[in-house]
Structure 1
C-alpha cells in the first residue's frame, strides 16, 4: 500500500514537472520569438511611440489595431506600439459589421477571427468569415454559411445558408441552400423568421427592411411580415420615419404604413441625401427643349436624348428606341429603330435586327436593312455616320465594300473589305497598304494611296500629310500648296487654318498667309467668323484677322444663322456677331441654330424637402447645392450663388460669382473678381478686395494680395502681413507657411515655431506633421512645439486612415523596403 502511494505521488510530481517544463519552454519560445523585434521607443514623454523599421509591410485594420508583415506572415500591433500577435497568419482583413474591432485572419488556407486585442476568438477552420454583430459572426464551411459565437468560439447555427446579408440593427437576412427561401436571425442567434419566399432582402432600417418579390419591392418587419406590399421599382431605406420609393417613373415619400406622404410626380430625376438629418435634395429632370432666337422655349421634348437637327429633322431616343421629330417637336417617325444616323440628301440610315437600311422623312423604308457599316473597322481613322453623299452610300455587304445608290442598288462592289470614306465633291478617301489616296464613283483609284493621312475634298482641295508635313492637292493629285505645315484643316469660305510650330493662322488657296499664326487653336470660318483660342479663352475674328469678339469664353461653337453658342462656367448661351449675349448662359447642352430653332438641354434643378414632415421647402430651382456648414449651404442659380438654412429657407439670395462654406460665422464670397466675407445674414463684413482667400479657423483667414499670402482676423484687420508664397489654414493654433521656397510653421501671432527649412510639411493630426527635406527624405515634428521627433531619414511614408499612426519606410542598397511606425498615443 505504501509503495502504491509512493508511485501515485511520483506520478503527480512527474506530471507537475512536465507541466512546468512545458510551460517554461513555451514561455521561452515566446520570449525567443519576441526577441526578433526591435523594441518601441517612447518620444516626447510618451506622447508618441516609434516602432523601428523592421517589417516588410504595415497597414491599419481597425481603430485599435495595426497589422504588420514579416516573411509573408501577418501579426498585429496595438495603439501603444506593443506587438500583441506574433506573425503567423497568411492574410487578414476587417470583418464588416456594426462594431469595429473584429479582424478575419487566414492560416493554412482557413479563416478565423482575432478581436481588437489581437486574441484569436474564432479558430482558423473556415472557408470565409463574413458579417458580424454582437457576439455573432457569419462563417462559411463546406460552401454553406453558419454562425459562430465569438465569446465561446463555437458554432451556434449550423452551416445551411447559401447567402448571408450584412448585420443591421442586430438583424441579418440569410438565404437557405436547399429551397432558396430566406430566414431572419438576430445577433444573439435567435431565428425570428423562416421560409420567406422573397428574391432579395435588404438591410433593416428603423425596424423595416426592403424585400423583392416578382421584380417589385415592398417592406417587411423582423418577423418577415409584409408591412408594405410589393409594388415599387426602386426604394431608399427608411430614415426619420419616411422612405423614398419610385413607381412607374413617379416618386413618393411613404410612411411606415405605406401611406403616401408626398407625391413628387414624374418630373424628378433622383432624390439624394443632404448633409443634414432633416433635409433631402430633390433633383428635377433635365429636359430637352427647342428654343427660338430670342431664347423663348417653343416646346419641351419628353425624350431621353435628342440629336442635332439635320435637314429640318432630329433623331431622338425613347426607352431605348430611336425615331425622328421635326422642328416643331412633332414626331414624324415613331421610336422603333436600334440606331439611326442623321438625314443626308433626304435619307437617313436606320438599324434593324443588326442591319442597316435607309428611310425617308415620312418613315418609309427606301432601302431595305441588309447592309453593315464600317463600325468597328479602324474607327479612329474611318468611322463616319453611314449616309448618302454625292448620291452614293458606302456600305458593307457579305464582308465586302460596296457603293449603293438611293434605290439600294449596288453600283460598285469590291472583291474585299476596303476602307473607304464618304464621297465629297466626287471623290472618296481610301486607305490601302497603310497609305491614303482617293477613288472615284466607279471605284477607280485616281490618286494613289501614298499619303500618311488625308482630309476630304472641300472647295476643290484636300489636305494631305507626307513626311510629317501637310499641304493641299487638287483633284488631279497635283500639289497646289506644297507640304510645309505642321497641321492644317480643310478650306472653308476661301480660307484654311494652318499650324506652324505651335500656333495657328490662315492661308488662302494660293498658300499665302493672310492671318499670321498666333493662336493656340482655331476653327473654320463660318458666316465670315472664325473662333480663336488665346490663353485658354475663346473669341472670334473676321477674315481680316481683326478680333470682333474678345476671347472670354470657355468653349464656343461656329456661327449659324447669325448666332454662335458660347459657354461660361459650364453654362451655354448665344451671342450675335457683335458679341452681344442675346440668350444668357443657362443650358447644360446646346446645338447650333438650324431653321430658326436650336435644341438645348436644361440644367438639372435641385430643390429641398424636409424628410421628417415631407414638406417641400424649396421647389426645384437651383442648379447646384453645396454641403451644410455652420447651418447654411450654398446654392447656385444659373451662374450666381446664395445660401439656404437647414429648414430650406433661402436666407441669402443668389448674387455672388463664387462662394466658400461658412466657418466661424463667416464665408468668403467673390464679386467682380475679388474676394471678401459676409456673415449669415448676408451683410458684408470684409469688403471684396483680395485675389484669393481661405476659410476662417482659429479666428484667422488667409488672403492673397499681390501674389503674397497673409492672415486677417474677423474684422478684416491684417494680423500677419502678406509675405508668404503659400500658406495653409490654422489648425489648433498653428499653420504651415512657405517662404523662399521652403515650408515652416507659425502661430496665430505670426511667431515662427519652425523656421522655413523643409521642401514640404503635411499635417497628420492637430499635433503631428510629416516634414520632407529637399533631398526627398521624410521625418516628423510636433506642430505645436516645433520639436523634431524623428530626423528626416525615411524614404517614404503612409498616413494610415485612423490618423493615429504613420507607416515609415527605408530602403536598403538593393531597393528592398522595410517598414516601421510612428504612433501618436495621446
Structure 2
C-alpha cells in the first residue's frame, strides 16, 4: 500500500480499517445528517453480497441490489471455484445453499439443510427427507427419512418401516418393511450386506434382498465388521459370534466376546481352552491353548503382520496365518516387531526371524525395536533393534546382521533436516555421540560433543565439535580431515569442495581456506571476507601483507589479486582492489586487468572529505552508482559513464529494474524550509523512462516514497499555490493518474486507485479512468483485506447521505429501500 503525499508535506495518516474521513482528522459527519435514513447498510464482502437492516428486518442483497437472502446460517468448508458452496442461508423462512459465485447450489426452498457430513447433506422439504451429493450435485428422491450407508446404498424410511435404496438402480434394493438398519461405515472395506432389525430381532440382509443371517439376535453398535463374521450380536444376553456363510454360532465360556484376529481367524473357546478357526469356519488350531492373543499393546498402530501369541503350559509362542505355529510355546515372553520376534527365557532376550532362525542369542536383558515409540507409531520400515546389558545399550541391524556391542547410555533415531524423516541412529556415552547409518556402518565414532552434516544430501562429511571448537570428519575415510580447532567452518558460495575456516570474533577475524582433503589452501591470515556474485569468495587484508585472493566456490580455484585489499561490488567478474585501503580501482580477475578510468575511494576507508569518487554496489543490470564531488552518476562495467554525475540523491534499482535520480532545488517561502528535489525514473539501461521531471520534498527518498509494487509515484508542485500533488505512472513511465491529487493509494493489486483532494475522495480504475469523481466525503473500504480492499458496489458518503455506487459510478437502487439512502455504523470500522 502506497503512503501518499498530502498538503503541507505531511504523509498520509490513512490507517483506519475502512472509513476514510474520520481517520484523516476532518469532515466529521453532522449529528443529524442521517435522521431520515430508513435502513442500515454494510460493506459488500468479497463474495458479492451485503447486509441491509430496514427497521426490524435484516436481509442481504446482491450486486444488482436485489434481495438475495435473509440470514447467513453457517459456512461450508473452503472451495476453489466460484461454483462451489459458500454457506447455508435462509430466505422467507426457507433454507438454501449459496455458491461462491452468488448463485445457488440449492435454492432456498428447504425446511432444513444439515451439512455436517460433508459429502452428503441431509435436506428436508414438505416434511420429506433426501440426501444431496455435494460432489455430484445430485439429489436423491424424498422419503420420510433417509440415511447414508456407502454412497450407492441408502437406508430410507417409508411410513414407519425402513428399506434400502440403490442409487445406481434408482429403486429399492431391500423393501421398506424393516424396523431399522445398521452398517459398518468405518470398516476398511464395504460390505454387500446390512444389519437389519425385524420384530425386535436382528439379522443380516444382503443388498440383493436375501436374508443372510436369520432374525434371532440382539444387537448393539460396537465391534462392527464387514467380513464373514458378526461380532456385535448376542443371544439371551450372551455374546455370540456368527459366521455369515454357514450361520454357525460361537460363544465364550464367560461374558467377554471372542477375539477375531487381523486375518479374520476367530479365537474359539471350548471348555476353557482356546483354538482358531479360519474365515471358512474350518479348524486351524485345536482348542488346547491357554490363551491366543494379538501381539503387543496398542497393536492397531504399532503392529502389523499375520501373527498371534499362543500360550501353553505357561509358555508363549507365535502363530502365523497360513503356516500354523511358527515358534513353539517354549518362551517366557514374546514381542512381535513386524516380521521379527524378541523372545525371552529365564530373563534373557534374543531375536528371531520368521523362519525361527536365531539372529541374536538370548543373552541380553532386553531386546526392543530402536523406535522407542513403536507401540504408538510402528517400525516406520526400520529393521534396527536396541540390545541392553545392564545399563548400557547396543545395536543390531537386521538387514545386514551388523552388531554393535552395548556401550551407550542412550540410543535415538535422528533426522538430517528439520522435521525430516529419521535417517541415522545416534548413540550417546558420557556426553559424546556416535552416528550410524541404517545398514550399521559407523559414520562417526564416539569422541565428539555434537555434530551436524556438512551437506544434508550426503552422509560423508560431518562438522564435529570438541571442546567448543569445530572440525570436519570424513565418514568414508573414517578420520578427521580438519581438526577441531576453529570457531566456525562455513561453506563458500558455490558449495564446492572447499571450506572457509574462521577464528576470532568481531573486529578480530582470521579467515583461511581448507580443501576437503584437509590440506590448507589459504593460510588463516585474512581479516576480511566477502562474497562475489553468489559463486566466488573474496579474502583480503592479510596480516602477513599478502595479496587479496578470489576463490571460485565451485571448483576451489584460488586467484591472487594485484593488491592487498579487495572489496566486492556485488557484480560477477569485478572487484574493487586497493594497495593502501584508501584509493581503489575496478579489476576484472577474468581478464586479469584493471578497468580503465575507474579510480575510486576504497569504501572501507571512505571519508566525505576525500575528493575521490565513491563506487557503490552495482545493480544486477551492470550499472553502478558513483558519487563524485557529492553528485551521483551511473557507470557501466567497462568503466564508461552511462549517466554523468548530475544527481544529488539516488535510489538503487528496484526488483523491476527502475531507479530514481534526484536534484536539489532551493527552498522558498512556499516550499517549506527543508527544500525540494526534482526527480526522474531511470530504466535498467540508465536512461530516463520519460522526459518528465517530478517534484518531492527532499526528506522523501525511500523506496516507499517512489515505488508501490510495479507502479511509480509521480508528483508536481502547483504553480500558483505551491502545493504538492501526487499521481501514478506504470513501470514504463506512462502516466495513469496525473499528479493533481493530494494523495493516491493503490488497492486490489493495482485494479483501483484511491484519490483524495483536501478531504474529498474518489476512485479510478487500473487505466486511470475515473469511476467515482473526487467529491465524496467518505468511502467504506477495508484497507487490510489485501487484494479486495475495494469492493463494488461501494458505500459512499456525499451531501449528508450514504449510498451504494456501482463500478460504473452509478447509484445502486436497493430492493426494499425506496429512498436509497442508508445509515452506516462507522464505529465498526
TM-score, normalised to structure 2, is 0.33
Bigger share in strand:
1
**Greater radius of gyration (CA):** 2
**Larger RCO (CA under 8 A, 6+ residues apart):** 2
TM-score, normalised to structure 1, is 0.33
